[in-house]
Structure 1
């Protein structure tokens, strides 16, 4: 993680809770196995093994296939990004047991699922102002034992 983002502040924790659902989806997506075309080859750049193309000289040191280059770029850049997501998700998960109260727990789980404050208020039949106050209370509870 970049220096400064390592710190768990009120603002960071609020943002991580808001981003939690899509970070989890990104982590799950990254961990899925690579799709295979058949038993011996992966999707991506192919090398001709039959016909006249097999006799032609091969490029050394790289490929000119733009799709393959894009796949490589995404794979290399995503590992670092996914690791940062994992760190943020774990920080949120460590603090979930600190939240007390039925309303707070319900609001927290709905926030982590990606629900908006308006949708949570509608479901719980509470005003958006009340949901906002509950959200602030959740953050205070989550930071209480982990004061820096």
Structure 2
């Protein structure tokens, strides 16, 4: 396995599906942090562009925190992107209305209990359909 690739097993895929909703939110948050850092450097137009520029680092604690997150979280965010991408490219392999509904609800972070309640299915049926979804997604 080369650098950048991740191992996809049934257990890994199930975990990534269960974690999908918060990994997406974390990626969005990281992208916003990067935008803040890029935008926080120097004003290039308007009244702020006429003000003197600070030499050296910044003493702004919020800027420092955002910078820390982007430096530390870069590798972590890349891992999340790979996992999310792996799930996304396998979604098209899922066939069946029940399977798709359960998959999308899992990706949204719904619990098995709430899915069963919504679909009026037993927990045994939900688990069986979820396992079928995993098998379909592992065909790739």
Give the TM bin, normalised by the shorter chain.
0.7 to 0.9
Among residues 33, 36, 57, which one is paired with 1:34 in the alignment?
36
Structure 1: gaps of 5 or more residues: 41-48
- Higher Cα radius of gyration: 1
Question: Structure 1, residues 40-99: CA drift from partner, whole Å, max 9, x if none?
Answer: 3xxxxxxxx6xxxx9xxx9x8x67876655443212011111111110001001100110
Q: TM-score with structure 2 length normalisation?
A: 0.76
Distance 1:27 1:105 in 2: 24
Structure 2: gaps of 5 or more residues: 44-51
Structure 1 runs of 4+ aligned residues shifted over 2 Å read 62-73
Q: Secondary structure at the match of 1:99?
A: coil
Q: Secondary structure at the match of 1:34?
A: helix
Q: Is residue 87 of structure 2 the alignment partner of residue 87 of structure 1?
A: no
CA RMSD of aligned residues (A): 2.8
- Correspondence for 1:98: 93
Equivalences for 1:12-51 in 2 at 5 Å? 12-32=12-32, 33-34=35-36, 40=43
May I ask how many residue pairs the two structures share in their alignment? 126
Q: TM-score with structure 1 length normalisation?
A: 0.72
